[in-house]
């Protein structure tokens, strides 16, 4: 190992794995991590999912203008492209490491287009080097974005490899669209390799200009690991869902894809919903017709239940819908078809099977359907919880019971099986993400429903008040605010005063002050245990 006397001359990429090599070595299955994770997220209390920060900026924020940091980068690029050299590359690289690429990229590219001193041939070479050899994500993103200013078929494999990682898919997609003759074919190839924000970005930009693409959009285009709602209307419209479902019968893959799309359209937000889809009436009518024969899973059942609610609703939306493809006759026919499907005797068995042995997704559909149909699954879920006490979604569902005996049984179980002493390590500012906070999330699932069960779960509330997870403390306070003080003063007044003195979160402290004042509890009374 060589130790340099002058660390300032050390290149920021030296001794590190390039991001391109890191992704390439993972093959077709990319796990979402990056070699610069620890450095990039240092000091941050929350890490975004791969591509999440750029996705949020692109969908929910306005682009920023050119900042002084961007203008400084342009000056450095002029120097680098006029007379390339390692130290000049280092200066550009270090400036990129400091730059908010996601919020600045459009302004940056516009500045590059207008900069008279940048040499195009050298810029292409440097951009390719940054994309291929960069060890920091912002540097790689910059290289990919700049490649989009040129014809870049020669960089196709580089862009597709980087684009397989959701953090870089957006940059690959835009570079492909701007720089390749057959860009839509390449974009389609990329879309089939990603599942999160990358899939959202590519499907949003994919042109449905071939039967193969339209068929893929309907069968596989909508599901993603972020929110299906982002892509549902795009897939319905561009894949021509209404036309595909008008056939007398369809393949199972199309029926499953249509189920995903219609379910997401019914949920609505953050993108277009079922009322934005011009052919919703035709698609829904044909879907329920097909579901009479092909509907057989808890997922299908859940969508039919949601469709029945949609069709039976008396909201003002139906006034508009009756001028946009729907008629009262079509609406009634679809509602009648839903009722015929729901009247089948098989559904209770389907629901219980999904709850007992289904995958996590199938179990979710089983639980959702059971709730709507009135199927009692409480004991089954509780039995699963006894085998694994860290299933936070089970606590959440079980706490919806109106049976006080069941609630007491669940609370007693949680007090015995959750590591309350470890949870109550003292107030902090944690958000509760990650495996290390699994027990805290279970506690939160209970606390948020204790407001309906006065006097039950004091030990859980005490642990929640002393949890480092802010949400635990807020949920504990929500329960106490709903209860009469007599049910908790003796046990928790002193705990509240202690937390008030040490809690780092002002919103929690304010709620405690209000709660104590409302119930006439002073610090002295709390310390003496007076009621």
Residues 430 and 504 in one domain: yes
pLDDT value at position 1? 44
pLDDT value at position 64? 57
> Is residue 475 in a domain?
yes
Alpha-carbon distance values, 433 to 399, 471, 475 (Å) = 22, 11, 16
Residues 161 and 300 in one domain: no
pLDDT value at position 531? 46
Residue 363 confidence class, pLDDT cut points 50, 70, 90: very high
> Is residue 368 in a domain?
no
pLDDT value at position 67? 80
Residue 62 confidence class, pLDDT cut points 50, 70, 90: low
> Among residues 205, 230, 253, which one ends one of the domains?
205
Residues 274 and 139 in one domain: no
State which residues form the domain around 165.
Answer: 19-39+49-205
pLDDT value at position 239? 99
Q: In this predicted model, what pLDDT tens digit does every residue of 132-176 receive, in sequence order?
A: 999 999 999 999 999 999 999 999 999 999 999 999 999 999 999
Lowest mean pLDDT among 53-62, 279-288, 458-467: 53-62
Residues 221 and 199 in one domain: no
Question: Which range, 29-33, 149-153, 312-316, 487-491, is most confident?
Answer: 149-153
Taking the CA atoms of residue 338, residue 339, residue 342 and residue 344 in that order, the dihedral angle to the nearest 10 degrees is: -120
Residue 2 confidence class, pLDDT cut points 50, 70, 90: very low
> Among residues 160, 180, 205, which one ends one of the domains?
205
Task: Give the span between the Cα atoms of 147 and 118, in whole angstroms.
Answer: 14
Residues 338 and 428 in one domain: no
Number of domains the chain is built from: 3
Q: In this predicted model, what pLDDT tens digit does every residue of 170-217 receive, in sequence order?
A: 999 999 999 999 999 999 999 999 999 999 999 999 999 999 999 999
Residues 24 and 164 in one domain: yes
- Torsion angles phi and psi, residue 504, rounded to 5: -80, -5
> Is residue 157 in a domain?
yes
Residues 218 and 329 in one domain: yes
| Percent of the chain whose pLDDT exceeds 70 | 95
Contact at 8 Å (CB) between 231 and 224?
Answer: yes
**What are the DSSP calls for 15-38, one per residue?**
TS--HHHHHHHTTT---S--TTHH
> Is residue 365 in a domain?
no
What is the phi-psi region of residue 268: left when phi exceeds 0, alpha when psi lies from -120 to 50, beta otherwise? left
pLDDT value at position 315? 80
Contact at 8 Å (CB) between 437 and 469?
Answer: yes
pLDDT value at position 269? 81
pLDDT value at position 268? 86
Q: Hey, what are 173's tokens?
A: 């997609």
> Is residue 398 in a domain?
yes
Alpha-carbon distance values, 318 to 11, 21, 73, 121 (Å) = 64, 55, 54, 59
Residues 30 and 93 in one domain: yes
pLDDT value at position 102? 83
> Is residue 7 in a domain?
no
pLDDT value at position 51? 84
Task: Give the span between the Cα atoms of 185 and 515, in whole angstroms.
Answer: 62
pLDDT value at position 439? 98
> Among residues 285, 317, 349, which one ends one of the domains?
349
Q: In this predicted model, what pLDDT tens digit does every residue of 404-449 receive, in sequence order?
A: 999 999 999 999 999 999 999 999 999 999 999 999 999 999 999 9
- Torsion angles phi and psi, residue 151, rounded to 5: -65, 125
Residue 523 confidence class, pLDDT cut points 50, 70, 90: low
Q: In this predicted model, what pLDDT tens digit does every residue of 239-281 receive, in sequence order?
A: 999 999 999 999 999 999 999 999 999 998 889 999 999 999 9
* Average pLDDT taken over every residue of the chain: 93
Q: Which of the pair, 29 or 6, is modelled with greater confidence?
A: 29
Tell me: pLDDT of 291 over 70.
yes
Residues 62 and 192 in one domain: yes
Contact at 8 Å (CB) between 135 and 18?
Answer: yes
Task: Give the span between the Cα atoms of 445 and 248, in whole angstroms.
Answer: 45
> Is residue 367 in a domain?
no
> Is residue 460 in a domain?
yes
Residues 338 and 420 in one domain: no
Residues 228 and 298 in one domain: yes
Residues 272 and 330 in one domain: yes
């Amino acid at each position: 190992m060589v130790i340099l006397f002058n660390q300032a001359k050390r290149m920021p990429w030296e001794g590190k794995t390039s991001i391109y090599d890191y992704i390439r070595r993972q093959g077709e299955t990319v796990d979402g991590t990056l070699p610069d994770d620890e450095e990039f997220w240092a000091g941050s209390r929350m890490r975004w999912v791969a591509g999440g920060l750029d996705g949020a900026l692109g969908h929910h924020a306005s682009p920023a203008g050119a900042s002084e940091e961007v203008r400084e980068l342009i000056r450095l690029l002029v120097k680098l492209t006029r007379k390339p050299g390692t130290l000049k590359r280092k200066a550009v690289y270090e400036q990129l490491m400091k730059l908010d690429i996601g919020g600045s990229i459009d302004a940056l590219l516009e500045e590059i287009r207008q900069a008279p001193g940048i040499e195009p041939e050298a810029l292409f070479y440097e951009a390719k080097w940054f994309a291929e050899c960069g060890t920091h994500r912002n540097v790689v993103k910059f290289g990919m974005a700049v490649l989009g200013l040129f014809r870049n078929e020669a960089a196709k494999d580089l862009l597709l490899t980087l684009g397989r990682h959701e953090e870089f898919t957006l940059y690959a997609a835009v570079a492909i669209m701007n720089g390749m003759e057959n860009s839509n074919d390449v974009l389609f190839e990329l879309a089939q390799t990603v599942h999160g924000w990358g899939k959202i970005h590519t499907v949003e930009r994919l042109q449905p200009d071939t039967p193969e693409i339209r068929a893929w959009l309907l069968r596989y285009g909508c599901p993603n690991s972020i929110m299906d709602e982002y892509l549902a209307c795009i897939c319905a419209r561009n894949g021509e869902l209404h036309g595909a479902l008008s056939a007398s019968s369809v393949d199972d893959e199309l029926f499953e894809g249509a189920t995903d799309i219609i379910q997401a359209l019914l949920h609505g937000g953050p993108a277009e919903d079922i009322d934005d889809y011009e052919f919703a009436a035709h698609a829904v009518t044909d879907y329920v017709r097909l579901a009479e024969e092909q509907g057989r899973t808890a997922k299908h059942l859940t969508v039919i239940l949601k469709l029945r609610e949609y069709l039976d609703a008396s909201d003002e939306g139906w006034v508009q819908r009756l001028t946009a493809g729907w008629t009262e006759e079509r609406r009634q026919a679809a509602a009648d078809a839903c009722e015929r499907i729901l009247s089948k005797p098989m559904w209770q068995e389907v629901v219980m099977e999904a709850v007992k042995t289904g995958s996590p997704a199938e179990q979710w559909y089983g639980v959702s359907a059971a709730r709507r149909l009135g199927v009692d699954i409480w004991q089954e879920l509780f039995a699963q919880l006894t085998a694994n006490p860290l299933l936070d979604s089970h606590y959440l569902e079980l706490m919806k019971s109106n049976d006080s005996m069941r609630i007491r049984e669940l609370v007693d179980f949680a007090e015995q099986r959750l590591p309350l002493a470890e949870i109550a390590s003292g107030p902090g500012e944690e958000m509760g993400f990650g495996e290390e906070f699994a027990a805290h999330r279970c506690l939160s699932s209970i606390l948020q429903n204790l407001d309906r069960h006065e006097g039950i779960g004091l030990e859980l509330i005490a642990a929640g008040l002393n949890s480092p997870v802010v949400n635990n403390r807020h949920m504990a306070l929500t329960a106490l605010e709903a209860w009469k003080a007599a049910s908790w003063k003796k046990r928790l007044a002193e705990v509240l005063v202690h937390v008030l003195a040490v809690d780092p979160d002002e919103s929690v402290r304010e709620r405690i002050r209000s709660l104590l004042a409302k119930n006439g509890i002073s610090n002295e009374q709390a310390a003496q245990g007076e009621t």
